[in-house]
Chain A
């Protein structure tokens, strides 16, 4: 007899706007407070204290335009945020400061979240959708120099890039980008050479979100239809479909694989969060708390496995935080 799904451990209220992005920063040693960063449609980034469940700081740096991506750069003191004001802002939050140290004007008017990758101490690569319709630009941070621009070949008709993931197999190897496009295909790009290695049409509708497990060379993508697509990368750097999974309701906004690669979570348009086992995509739980579309899901980076949390942000302006499968 299966247990009913758990309730959220707690719910964070107070953003006063739909929540579009979440990012945990809980890996620091004691006495650091575990934090959750959230970006909302009203342009604010809230820094939530996970001990008190209250907002510690509210950052206003995007001119009240929706913030749809937040990431930390090596710790909770440096934050990167991307908003609909076409800017990516770099924040310095150390010692209570709340200032924007730098910004990049992307000229991108869509919703494609950027992707960060640490390539060396103090050096990052960031992939983001560029001004031109089908292109992805790779910059180096903090120097903001352009590394390359990834242009699909003429006539490929990929549409806008919808989601990006930069990764490298190990430190020092060539960075690679996985990009999901409007036409439903996922393309693997070799960043230093700036050319596409493989293209796979996984969906009939735009790819809304993707995540990749570099150890198993397996990835998963979700779109606005009912199908989740799992694909793998073989030795020749070719993408192949591994499996598909059909959902009850159509529409996935976000997918994320837990850092221990055991489970993954999807954020659905049907207001539900679904948990699957990553190995075989076994459906594990359906978390039904929110009353509107769930926009984002994120796993925490707690060093102690038992403290691990899952957070989901929704259009109903609430962030639900769950502790699920934390024992394994």
Chain B
């Protein structure tokens, strides 16, 4: 090209830089994408081995005026094919330029959360590659940890942002070296303790898991010897991806689109190391007997076997009568564990086959089942107990419901037992409100899907799905007509007992007991209670008590509408959905007009301001239902 005299070289490059910048300045924002698309790859290649080009590039970016800086830096970070490339392109820009520092250290990490993991890797890797920039890395980590461990930030930021911050923390940790960790060990420990506490208090399982993974990772980094923190949770793709971020493989050209899956095998999760050498000499490899070479007369042929057809699996007989079952279950004879096991397995079917006998002892049986603990290790014990409880409740609803709802608010039950009461009530309500075929509760595919409420699962999600489907059907407003098979109609058994299930649960929620404070720390149970009420409301459609239930529910929900726990708020919004679906439209508009208007404005608020995505979605749904309601009534000619 040109032959540049050495004396002019020091002026040449800045001039060149200025010229390029002028060109840049003349182009408006919307064309930025195309420019950087061309510029970044080319510069990356050029700066790969050429120091001069690196300096050109650095000068280029340093001279970008402040109001463009954000756009340029953002563009570079997003498009650079790796931290090394970014380092070559930007140099120490973040240290020299205040605006760039703000964009990188504050805006992209704390104020925005839409960037991909690869972008985060680029950014934080870039910070780690130079010793001057590493101080910035440490500062960034501290700020991220502060946000992560703050409970108010947790309550008010959406789940996606929390995930983003967690990822950023893990990537930072992966870049830190031992002396740096040692210098901030105490702060890491403090943040971890605070952060894990507020994460574990959350009612939403994904957030709890997020907190556990991050805490484990921090613990792993700061404790090089000695026991590390290890939580028990179910691994899924998200946790595996997070853990894989902790390990950095030295890669020189990481294209942002490639996931870090291959690193997961080396991740810090505890892998049991089986001593291979020992295993080999001990494992049982069967040696096939040489049957052919054994030509001896088979003396076993002399021995004629006897008839062994009676040799079957040993079965312990379960009791045949309900009262015998009660005796076995309450019996103190600990030797007869086989009988106890057989009783637990047989109880549900016995109860269903002998309704009259069950009704005589229903409350006693309910009491025994509520307190029944696992004596031996039976598979599916919790489910067996739950099914037996549901059977008892559906056979004799009123007394047993009275008993269970009163126990819900009594002293000295564990949270698990209280939640079990709620689950049993819901399952029984579902069974009672579904039509029976030939005396058996059969849910054919035509009906709403039958969800088994297994313990541990988040039953509220399943119910939400059912309600969603029903809502979808309502909002779309098409009626295909009863082209399906006509179902045998029979009385709705839930009708007579809905009130007994529902009202006692609402009555005492604001009265704290010594061991149970719904409005205080036991907000998980409050969340479950609210979801339960939503389901009971939903199932009460076409019952006589539905309007009274609706009014009571609306008052209950109104009192709690500003609760800080997102799980509780989701439940409250589900209650409103159920109410709008179950209570007949005329009754709503006649008896609850004012409350309806207030609820409408509350929904609007939630939709705009609630940090939780699910809450906003539910609020929108409710608004649509209310619209639908109004339209339907206006459509009816008065």
Residues of chain A having any CB pair with chain B under 8 Å: 2-6, 185, 199-202, 229, 231-232, 240-244, 248-249, 262-263, 270-272, 277-280, 282-286, 288, 325, 328
Residues of A within 8 A of B283 (CB): 201
Selected from A202, A231, A280, the residue in CB contact (under 8 A) with B300 is: A280
Per-residue interface assignment for chain B, residues 255 to 295, with 1 indicating a CB less than 8 Å from any chain A CB and 0 otherwise: 00000000000000000000000000111111101000000
Smallest CB–CB gap between A264 and chain B, Å?
12
Q: CA separation between A201 and B285, bound complex, in Å?
A: 10
Residues of chain B having any CB pair with chain A under 8 Å: 281-287, 289, 298-300, 302-308, 310-314
Q: CA separation between A201 and B286, bound complex, in Å?
A: 11
A279 touches B310 (CB 8 A): no
Residues of B within 8 A of A248 (CB): 311-313
Residues of B within 8 A of A229 (CB): 284
Residue of A200, A263, A286 with most chain B CB atoms under a 10 A cut-off: A286
A280 touches B311 (CB 8 A): no
Residue on B with the closest CB to A281? B300
B299 touches A262 (CB 8 A): yes
Listed A/B pairs (13) with beta-carbon separation below 8 Å:
A4-B306, A5-B307, A6-B306, A200-B284, A244-B286, A249-B313, A262-B300, A279-B298, A282-B300, A282-B305, A284-B303, A284-B305, A288-B310
Residues of B within 8 A of A185 (CB): 282
B289 touches A285 (CB 8 A): no
Q: CA separation between A244 and B286, bound complex, in Å?
A: 9
Selected from B281, B282, B306, the residue in CB contact (under 8 A) with A284 is: B306
Smallest CB–CB gap between B117 and chain A, Å?
42
B314 touches A5 (CB 8 A): no
Smallest CB–CB gap between B593 and chain A, Å?
68
Since A5-B307, A279-B298 are in contact, a sample of 16 more A-B pairs with Cβ atoms closer than 8 Å, ordered by chain A residue number, is A2-B308, A3-B304, A3-B307, A4-B307, A5-B308, A199-B282, A201-B282, A201-B284, A232-B287, A240-B286, A249-B313, A271-B314, A272-B311, A278-B300, A280-B300, A284-B305
Instruction: Given A185-B282, A244-B286, A248-B312, check contact A277 B307 (CB 8 Å).
Output: no
Residue on A with the closest CB to B287? A240
A282 touches B306 (CB 8 A): no
Q: CA separation between A278 and B281, bound complex, in Å?
A: 27
Selected from B282, B287, B302, B311, the residue in CB contact (under 8 A) with A286 is: B311
B284 touches A241 (CB 8 A): yes
B306 touches A285 (CB 8 A): yes
Residues of A within 8 A of B304 (CB): 2-3, 284
Residues of B within 8 A of A328 (CB): 302-303
Instruction: Given A201-B282, A241-B284, A244-B286, check contact A279 B299 (CB 8 Å).
Output: yes
Selected from B287, B303, B306, the residue in CB contact (under 8 A) with A277 is: B303
Residues of B within 8 A of A243 (CB): 286, 289
Residue on B with the closest CB to A185? B282
5 residue pairs, one from A and one from B, having the closest CB atoms: A277-B300, A2-B307, A285-B306, A241-B284, A286-B311
Q: CA separation between A2 and B298, bound complex, in Å?
A: 20
B311 touches A242 (CB 8 A): no
Residues of B within 8 A of A288 (CB): 310-311
Smallest CB–CB gap between B35 and chain A, Å?
65
B289 touches A242 (CB 8 A): yes
B286 touches A5 (CB 8 A): no
Q: CA separation between A286 and B309, bound complex, in Å?
A: 9
Selected from B285, B303, B306, B311, the residue in CB contact (under 8 A) with A262 is: B303
Residues of B within 8 A of A5 (CB): 306-308
Smallest CB–CB gap between A59 and chain B, Å?
28
Residue on B with the closest CB to A263? B303
Q: CA separation between A313 and B314, bound complex, in Å?
A: 19
Q: CA separation between A189 and B312, bound complex, in Å?
A: 38
Residue on A with the closest CB to B302? A328
Residue on A with the closest CB to B312? A248
Residues of B within 8 A of A272 (CB): 311
Residues of B within 8 A of A286 (CB): 306, 308, 310-311
Residue of B281, B282, B285, B310 with most chain A CB atoms under a 10 A cut-off: B282
Instruction: Given A199-B281, A200-B282, A279-B299, check contact A242 B287 (CB 8 Å).
Output: yes
Residues of A within 8 A of B281 (CB): 199
Q: CA separation between A35 and B283, bound complex, in Å?
A: 43
A283 touches B282 (CB 8 A): no
Q: CA separation between A31 and B634, bound complex, in Å?
A: 113
Q: CA separation between A277 and B301, bound complex, in Å?
A: 9
Residue on B with the closest CB to A269? B314
Residues of A within 8 A of B306 (CB): 2-6, 284-286
Q: CA separation between A280 and B305, bound complex, in Å?
A: 13
Residues of B within 8 A of A242 (CB): 286-287, 289
Selected from B287, B303, B312, the residue in CB contact (under 8 A) with A282 is: B303
Smallest CB–CB gap between A242 and chain B, Å?
6
Residue on B with the closest CB to A153? B278
B287 touches A285 (CB 8 A): no
Smallest CB–CB gap between B285 and chain A, Å?
7
Residue of B283, B305, B307 with most chain A CB atoms under a 10 A cut-off: B305
Smallest CB–CB gap between A138 and chain B, Å?
23
Residues of A within 8 A of B289 (CB): 242-243
Residues of A within 8 A of B313 (CB): 248-249
B286 touches A241 (CB 8 A): yes
Q: CA separation between A6 and B287, bound complex, in Å?
A: 35
Residues of A within 8 A of B298 (CB): 279-280
Q: CA separation between A272 and B313, bound complex, in Å?
A: 11
Residues of B within 8 A of A202 (CB): 284
Smallest CB–CB gap between A132 and chain B, Å?
22
Smallest CB–CB gap between B318 and chain A, Å?
18
Residue on B with the closest CB to A1? B307
Residues of B within 8 A of A241 (CB): 284-287
Instruction: Given A201-B284, A241-B287, check contact A283 B305 (CB 8 Å).
Output: yes
Residues of A within 8 A of B308 (CB): 2, 5, 283, 285-286
Q: CA separation between A280 and B301, bound complex, in Å?
A: 10
Residue on B with the closest CB to A5? B306
Residue of A201, A240, A280 with most chain B CB atoms under a 10 A cut-off: A280
Q: CA separation between A38 and B281, bound complex, in Å?
A: 40
Residue on B with the closest CB to A6? B306
Q: CA separation between A82 and B307, bound complex, in Å?
A: 38
Q: CA separation between A91 and B169, bound complex, in Å?
A: 75
Residues of B within 8 A of A262 (CB): 299-300, 303
Residue on A with the closest CB to B286? A241
Q: CA separation between A190 and B311, bound complex, in Å?
A: 40
Selected from A3, A231, A249, A325, the residue in CB contact (under 8 A) with B303 is: A325
Residue on A with the closest CB to B299? A279
Q: CA separation between A200 and B306, bound complex, in Å?
A: 33
Residue on B with the closest CB to A156? B278
Q: CA separation between A169 and B286, bound complex, in Å?
A: 24
Smallest CB–CB gap between B68 and chain A, Å?
66
Q: CA separation between A244 and B282, bound complex, in Å?
A: 16
Residues of B within 8 A of A263 (CB): 303
Smallest CB–CB gap between A293 and chain B, Å?
11
Q: CA separation between A285 and B305, bound complex, in Å?
A: 6
Residue on B with the closest CB to A199? B282
Residues of B within 8 A of A231 (CB): 284
Q: CA separation between A278 and B287, bound complex, in Å?
A: 17
Q: CA separation between A249 and B308, bound complex, in Å?
A: 14
Residue of B285, B289, B300, B312 with most chain A CB atoms under a 10 A cut-off: B300
Smallest CB–CB gap between A123 and chain B, Å?
34
Smallest CB–CB gap between A66 and chain B, Å?
16
